Amino acid sequence: MRFAFTDRWGGVSTAPYDELNLGGAVGDDPAAVAENRRRAARAHGIDPGRVVWMNQVHGREVAVVDAPWGAGEVPAVDALVTAVPGLALAVLTADCTPVLLADEEAGVVGAAHAGRPGLLAGVVPATVAAMRALGAEPARITARLGPAVCGRCYEVPEEMRARAAELVNETFATTSWGTPAIDVRAGARAQLEALGVADVTVSPVCTLESADHFSYRREKATGRLASYVWTEAR
């Protein structure tokens, strides 16, 4: 099983998307995005033609895939799962939490886009359920939570924090300056552990604090990072 995360460097996009913007719906030149996607895939040993992307909408829908979408319309989902070796699942983020999952024994991987709305809607449990339907077992799943805005920086109104904590208590957080906040990664980790996924690693990178990563909360007009998960082709 393989996991990979990009930063913002090594691409061809110009400001405000400089440099390695991998998002195709943020206003960047499509040709630059296509070249960036080729570069990012090759840098991680992925066939650029074997990457599956999503039309992310902050929901909980999961698609089971066995090939890239090709020229067809990319469906509106926030998670993907597959049992096809060599098929890389990709999540785009710029503060939301990318959740990558892999059961090496079953040969099943999953990728979820967990922003606040998706997390609270249950995209993480839905992804694990879809993986189980393909033969994965939570106790065997390895989880990697990628670069995202941290609970010390994700400031929200008090009412929003309270509503989130009612659904996922572990999201309750306070900023480093003492105001209400939400910790999406803590919520995702708690959901995974409640499902029996014990091997969970959380990236130390806060996208808002890191100049090497895109952050929508910091910059508004900006690029998107990508997180990939796949199993080696047999």
Structural domains in the chain, sorted by start: 2-149+207-230 (3.60.140.10)
Q: What is the pLDDT of residues 16-40, one digit of tens each?
A: 999 999 999 999 999 999 999 999 9
Q: What is the mean pLDDT of residues 58-64?
A: 97
pLDDT confidence bin for 227, thresholds 50/70/90: very high
Question: Could you tell me if 167 and 103 are in contact, meaning their C-beta atoms sit under 8 angstroms apart?
Answer: no
* 234: pLDDT strictly greater than 70: no
Residue 29 exposed, middle or buried by CB count within 10 Å (0-12, 13-18, 19+): middle
Give CA–CA dist 92/140, Å, rounded: 25
pTM of the model: 0.96
Q: What is the DSSP string of 146-162?
A: -SB--TTT-B--HHHHH
pLDDT in tens, 127-167: 999 999 999 999 999 999 999 999 999 999 999 999 999 99
Q: Please tell me whether the peptide bond between 180 and the residue prior to it is cis, using omega within 30 degrees of 0.
A: no
pLDDT of residue 137: 98
